[in-house]
Amino acid sequence: MDAKSQNNIEQMRSFKKDLIRFMMSYKFALAEVNTKIDILKQEFQYIHDYNPIEHTNSRLKSPESILRKIDRKGIGLSLPYISENIKDIAGIRITCSFISDIYKIKDMLEQQKDITVIECKDYIEYPKPNGYQSLHLIIQIPIFMSDREDLVPVEIQIRTIAMDFWASLEHKIYYKYNKEIPVRIKNELKEAADTAAKLDKKMEDLHKEMNQIKQLSQHEDILGEQLANNDTFKLIPAMFMSEFNKNNKN
């Protein structure tokens, strides 16, 4: 084997090793964020009376998928370039019941000391033209390797059940038609997205109304308990009876 061939083999081995470390950092970052979300979910489950997180899904792009994306973007085959330009290699989707839950979870994630939000796209406030709604966050989290610390980006998508239902079916339809969708079907998909948005709004209103009723009921229970434990109010029935007996004697 000549020196050139040997050098090429060494370069391939070095690139393979770097690629493995590169993918491992995203895998570990995904595990870190999943753990944080699971802790929040369990806290709400066991301590609070309401859990805003319905369920979560996570995925790690395959090397083949990454190569296809860098080809579309025209990015050179360089791991630093890939890391700089592709932020969704590791991704998590959180599904909630109500729109308010989405922003509640966003706030809780932002309060984590080792999480930095580097990008936020609010497709709920500003839906895409096709009707797509979701909140997209790109966060950065530190991963401690044996010889260094890596700051790894993770994409988090937070959406309601209705948003997730529409997005999943819309994706399947696009895949079936190989993205060449007839105009009529595009329009009907947009109408379906609008219907899902109205359903979310209606359910959010009902959710707020039920919370108000619950708070009022709790307030009345507390007030009733305070009155029952107040010695002054305990004397009121006796005072009325004393006055009633006095009037009857007269």
Q: What is the CATH number of the domain that holds 50?
A: 3.30.460.10
129 falls within a domain: yes
155 counts as catalytic: yes
Is 68 among the domain residues? Answer: yes
| 129 touches 164 (CB < 8 A) | no
Which residue range(s) make up the domain with 78? Answer: 3-182
Chain centroid to CA 6? 48
Q: Is residue 114 part of a domain?
A: yes
Q: What is the pLDDT of residue 70?
A: 82
Closest CA to 35 of 154, 165, 159: 154
Q: What pLDDT is stored for residue 81 in this prediction?
A: 83
Within-domain flag for 245: no
Residue 83: predicted pLDDT = 84
Q: Which of 155, 170, 188, 225 is catalytic?
A: 155
Residue 225, in any domain of the structure: no
Residue 29 lies in a domain: yes
Residue 214 covered by a domain: no
pTM for this entry: 0.79
pLDDT at 68: 84
**What burial letters (b/e) apply to 156-178, b meaning 16+ CB within 10 Å?**
bbbbbbbbbebbeebeeebeeee
In a domain, residue 227? The reply is no
Q: What is the pLDDT of residue 26?
A: 94
Query: Could you tell me which residues are beta bridge partners of residue 159?
Result: 95
Residues of the chain short of pLDDT 50, as ranges, are 244
Position 232 scores a pLDDT of: 55
Burial 123-154 (b: 16+ CB within 10 A, else e): bbeebeeebbbbbbbbbbbebeeeeeebebbb
